[in-house]
Structure 1
Amino acid sequence: MDEAARRIHAFTDDALGDHDAVGLAEQVRRGAVGRDELAAAAAARSRAVEAELHAVAFDAFASPRLGDDPEAALFGVPTFVKDNTDLAGWPTNHGSEAYVASPAKRDGAYARQYLGTGLTVLGKSRLPEFGFNATTEFMTQPPTRNPWDPAYSVGASSGGSAAMVAAGVVPIAHANDGGGSIRIPAACAGLVGLKPSRGRHRDGEQARHLPINMVSEGVVTRSVRDTAAFVAAAEDGWRNPNLPPVGLVTGPAQRRLRVGLILDTVTGATVDEDTRRAVERTAALLERAGHVVEPIALPVTEQFAADFVQYWGLLAELALDTSRLLLSRSFDAARADGLSRGLRAFHRRHLYRTPGALRRLRRVPQQCAALLARHEVVLSPVLAHTTPPLGHLAPTVAYDELIHRLTRWVAYTPLNNISGQPGISLPMGTTAGGLPVGVQLTAAHGDERTLLELAYLLEAAQPFARIQD
């Protein structure tokens, strides 16, 4: 079977067509199409592919949440919200098989900002338990599949959102990122995934209580202009006065940038040839556009990777030990997935390491800021190798082997979460088998504008592959 025949997508000649979110919003404003028509088309597309993709956690096709401001930039465009974010009247199950959630009593703070952009929410997208894994797989439930090839992972933790956007169900979907969870699925699914600066958007409820807040909210999209439009629309609703405004970025800038190139990993993992080739090709495109690209060293050592896993374990322990109180009295930690339980057990065995790990992690923003003082942008892979087949990272894999596999794959993205710096994943390559390969651009804290400008440049220089072609 050739690669095109393996793909799963819902693109068809309906109200959504091939349009991105900006294009659909323009049509709604002109009266060429109604938001109800778009919602119905997206619901039909979801039904057409859901039996194969398994991307939807909860659907509300009969009663979607509608944006209430016709002047909002993305008014009427259909979307999904990740199932770790509260919307009043809908359950929030955090991807867990350990309990069944009751309907949320109120919208979360970030959900209100998201709805303020005008989007029509059709339901909730799937994620692995508590967003801890880098693949959207489960203990007993079917995995979310990659629409480019259903035998492969679509990444995580925003895997359900990425699968639906890549497959054409909706043009834009909610994602959040605590270790790469916007950028990883974007890389696996051939999408644009911007992890904003820490504090750029309103925090979700869980992020506010973390010892180190490493979660950023955002979206996955198929075009740079959709991501840029969302950032501007979210900023219209609320802007952090401590960060420079981004505004609406509409294209590349003319300034010449210093770009640092990093191919080494903090875990010592070897970058595979498909990934290296995509990064080097991107570097050549930037040089051709007049930017200066030069190799630079990582600002942290392998100790960072060990400290991040320690913190990961702390979060797992907090999640499993408090969910009965905070989420549901029915929560049964014994039914949590293998990764969550393995991380908790690891942290309990090595609890004495936590104070030192937190102390070192809190120094990372300063170390990374020094690096970005000499270069406006850093270019790197998103992941050390291309997306693995389903099962490779499943939570049923023995913990020691699973954590080894995860840290050898997720070797770049966590640094931005601890530093707070923005990073964007762009689909800049494909494997011989037709799977997308992402590259990452990182900028100084608060400088999403530069990332979006470069993303426009790269999208024009090498148009992103389309699943329907």
Structure 2
Amino acid sequence: MFAQYDDYDALGLAELVKKGDVKSSELVEECIARIERVNPRLNCVVHPMYEQARAAQPSTGPFQGVPFLLKDLLQTVRGVPTSSGSRFFAGMPADRDSELYVRYRKAGLVAVAKTATPELGLLPVTETDLHGPTRNPWKLERTPGGSSGGSGSAVGAGIVPMAHGGDGGGSIRIPASCCGIFGLKPTRARTPTGPTASEGWSGFAIEHVLSRSVRDSAAALDATIGAEPYAPYHAPTVTRPFLEETTREPGRLRIGFHWEAAMLGDVHPDCIAAVKDAAKLLEELGHDVEEVRPQHDREHLTRSFFTVVSANTAAEIDEGARRLGKKARPADFETATWRGAQMGRSFDGATTLL
């Protein structure tokens, strides 16, 4: 065991491993012990990978020997099931490693387990018929958010300093906010999605990490940056490493803030207050801060978003049924998931694209 585990972020732990102050195996055992201790209350880990983690020979990358958790959605590990939070997909082992997981391994990370997600990553909370509710580490009766709620809960609880997540409509940022950690949704195609998928939600969804520190997030992006060669498009190149950006003086920035909902619905007063507090802090730091009001049709944006998501849900279920060789039935899915897929099947291609 390693008593100082909480004192370091992922880069800090990796530095200790490189200097020989601690072994990767000790960090892995500390992570496993923490899962076993807190997961009965949090329900954030849904598939242990303990034997693979104990047998791992970590690469000498920036995160050498650091324990890591994978969200149980999209990213695949050969021989390990990916349930996507769904009874329909439960127990289906992957036949290959995803490209992003390969890059995590090359960066030195050691995958110890997979974390909870709502069914097919569709909701901003993490509660499924398959696994039950995942809980917030700060207040057990609260949600950790979603869809990367299992990862957010695990990082917030100190199981790992950093965990994988994905974000199509807030699924990294919402759990980060709920669990008091850091979460960034990168630019589309900044990280790879293949080879088992081309793009998530027609490009809305992009994968990255939730972390205790900003620099871990930056270093993880440096380690995984770039779409795979067969990707349909690539993100613009960057001029310097993201980790370097975290230590550069930004100068006086012009910052706009907006506190109204982008889509239909109201914003809770506590959330509005948090945005305004952040704006005030930025102003006190010397930046030019002003409220902005983007002009857009909220109803049209809401309708368009759910058109794309529901059409992709239908396609994901149909493709999964084809791979599994079985028929998808309403009883195999949660009601909201099945209804969303049915709505998606009602659209033609032009409606989905436009």
Same fold (TM over 0.5): yes
Q: SS of the counterpart of 2:304?
A: helix
Q: SS of the counterpart of 2:140?
A: strand
Give 1:170 deviation, angstroms. Answer: 0.6
Give 1:99 deviation, angstroms. Answer: 3.7
Unpaired runs of 5+ in structure 1?
A: 1-11, 360-469
Tell me whether 1:170 sits opposite 2:164 in the alignment: no
Tell me whether 1:288 sits opposite 2:284 in the alignment: yes
Post-superposition CA distance 1:47-98 (Å, at most 9, x none): 001111111121021221736422x100111011111211112111111112
Give 1:137 deviation, angstroms. Answer: 0.5
> Could you tell me the TM-score, scaled by structure 1's length?
0.69
Other-structure match for 1:395: none
- Distance in 2 (CA, whole Å) between partners of 1:339 and 1:204 is 27
Q: SS of the counterpart of 2:128?
A: coil
**Contact conserved, 1:158 with 1:181, CA < 8 A, in 2?**
yes
Give 1:273 deviation, angstroms. Answer: 1.9
Post-superposition CA distance 1:182-205 (Å, at most 9, x none): 111111111100111111111244
Q: SS of the counterpart of 2:51?
A: coil
Residues 94-113 of structure 1 mapped to structure 2, 5 A cutoff:
94-113=84-103
Other-structure match for 1:33: 22
Post-superposition CA distance 1:258-288 (Å, at most 9, x none): 1111112233422222111111111111111
Other-structure match for 2:303: 306
Give 1:17 deviation, angstroms. Answer: 3.2
Give 1:330 deviation, angstroms. Answer: 7.4
Unpaired runs of 5+ in structure 2?
A: none
Tell me whether 1:250 sits opposite 2:239 in the alignment: no
Other-structure match for 2:47: 58
Q: SS of the counterpart of 1:79?
A: strand
Other-structure match for 2:144: 154
Higher relative contact order (CA 8 A, sep 6+): 1
Post-superposition CA distance 1:417-457 (Å, at most 9, x none): xxxxxxxxxxxxxxxxxxxxxxxxxxxxxxxxxxxxxxxxx
- Shift of the 259–182 alpha-carbon distance from structure 1 to 2, 3 Å rule, reads same
**Contact conserved, 1:231 with 1:246, CA < 8 A, in 2?**
no
Give 1:213 deviation, angstroms. Answer: 1.6
- Distance in 2 (CA, whole Å) between partners of 1:21 and 1:238 is 25
User: Structure 2: which amino acid aligns with 1:192?
Assistant: F
Give 1:101 deviation, angstroms. Answer: 2.7
> What is the CA RMSD across the aligned residues, in angstroms?
2.4
- Shift of the 330–306 alpha-carbon distance from structure 1 to 2, 3 Å rule, reads closer
Identical positions, percent: 33
- Shift of the 67–176 alpha-carbon distance from structure 1 to 2, 3 Å rule, reads farther
Other-structure match for 2:66: 77
Equivalent of 2:36, from 20, 40, 47? 47
- Distance in 2 (CA, whole Å) between partners of 1:348 and 1:330 is 16
Q: How many residues align?
A: 345
Equivalent of 2:336, from 320, 335, 339? 339
Other-structure match for 1:399: none
- Shift of the 299–222 alpha-carbon distance from structure 1 to 2, 3 Å rule, reads farther
- Distance in 2 (CA, whole Å) between partners of 1:225 and 1:140 is 35
- Distance in 1 (CA, whole Å) between partners of 2:29 and 2:325 is 33
Give 1:27 deviation, angstroms. Answer: 0.6
- Distance in 2 (CA, whole Å) between partners of 1:335 and 1:95 is 12
> Could you tell me the TM-score, scaled by structure 2's length?
0.90
- Distance in 2 (CA, whole Å) between partners of 1:81 and 1:40 is 17
**Contact conserved, 1:158 with 1:175, CA < 8 A, in 2?**
yes
- Distance in 2 (CA, whole Å) between partners of 1:205 and 1:333 is 28
**Contact conserved, 2:312 with 2:344, CA < 8 A, in 1?**
no
Give 1:114 deviation, angstroms. Answer: 1.9
Give 1:230 deviation, angstroms. Answer: 1.4
**Contact conserved, 1:83 with 1:94, CA < 8 A, in 2?**
yes
- Distance in 2 (CA, whole Å) between partners of 1:318 and 1:15 is 46
